[in-house]
Copies of this chain bind each other. A is one copy, B any other.
């Protein structure tokens, strides 16, 4: 059994990016610049955004964090988005989700310039991904693809079962795994809340990507030997630790891992990959813009 080590892999990617940034600045260019907008004071969101900013510093990016109060109106946020679209010194930016309920998330995401949409949430980028055109693929699904790629996990002709059809994980990874690409070329089944026979599906799967957010959903008796398991679940479960919780995945890791050829741990699997892929998308945005230099 081989652990798909997201922590190590994401550090490798960050080092590669830092290397590129060094070359960029040494050749007299400004470093890539990523901005993040956050509305309100949600603790988890602030933590996420904070680690994105920290990661920017680590690879040598410039970063800008725009904190807006909870009572920001949709129009005010749209103006902010418009400013970021126009600001030539910013290559890419994200609007941290969730937004307060009085703001329509889709309206905001649609207003982001697709060429700066390093989160890959704009429908244009989602469509390009589905049609296998150059684009920004959102961080979690592209993190999974990158992990499979770096560990040379065979996907062609394999049965891949994706559990969960969210717009940011299940749906895009189910599309990516079926594209005529490597990794890809899998026969993909997308299972969800209305699926009646999940165990039948997982028992036939060579690769399982679980993005349900149900702790310990995937058990040993649901899998065949040699399966590849990618666990995207991140659920906070209360415990007696200092933080008061621990992060638990969708997979009963201790028992499932014994049957696997490859498996991602939680934490330390897909999670750390997401920030690395966000940084990678922003490098791409920078290069697209300065294409004459590269």
- Which among B124, B186, B196 is the interface contact of A127 at CB below 8 angstroms? B124
Task: List B contacts of A49 (CB < 8 A).
Answer: none
Task: List B contacts of A127 (CB < 8 A).
Answer: 122-130
What distance in Å separates the Cβ of A176 from its nearest Cβ neighbour in chain B?
12
Tell me if A191 counts as interface (CB < 8 A to partner B). Answer: yes
Give a binary string over A92-107; 1 marks a CB under 8 Å from any B CB, 0 the rest: 0000000000000010
Cα A129 to Cα B123 with chains together (Å): 9
- Which among B125, B157, B191, B195 is the interface contact of A194 at CB below 8 angstroms? B157
Query: Copy number of this protein in the oligomer?
Result: 2
Cα A288 to Cα B126 with chains together (Å): 23
Tell me if A270 counts as interface (CB < 8 A to partner B). Answer: no
Given contacts A123-B131, A126-B130, A187-B189, 12 further A-B contacts (CB under 8 A): A122-B127, A123-B128, A123-B135, A126-B126, A126-B127, A127-B127, A127-B128, A130-B171, A165-B178, A178-B192, A185-B194, A186-B194
A interface residue numbers (CB < 8 A to B): 106, 122-131, 133, 135, 156-157, 159, 165, 167, 171, 174-175, 178, 180, 185-192, 194-197, 200-201, 204
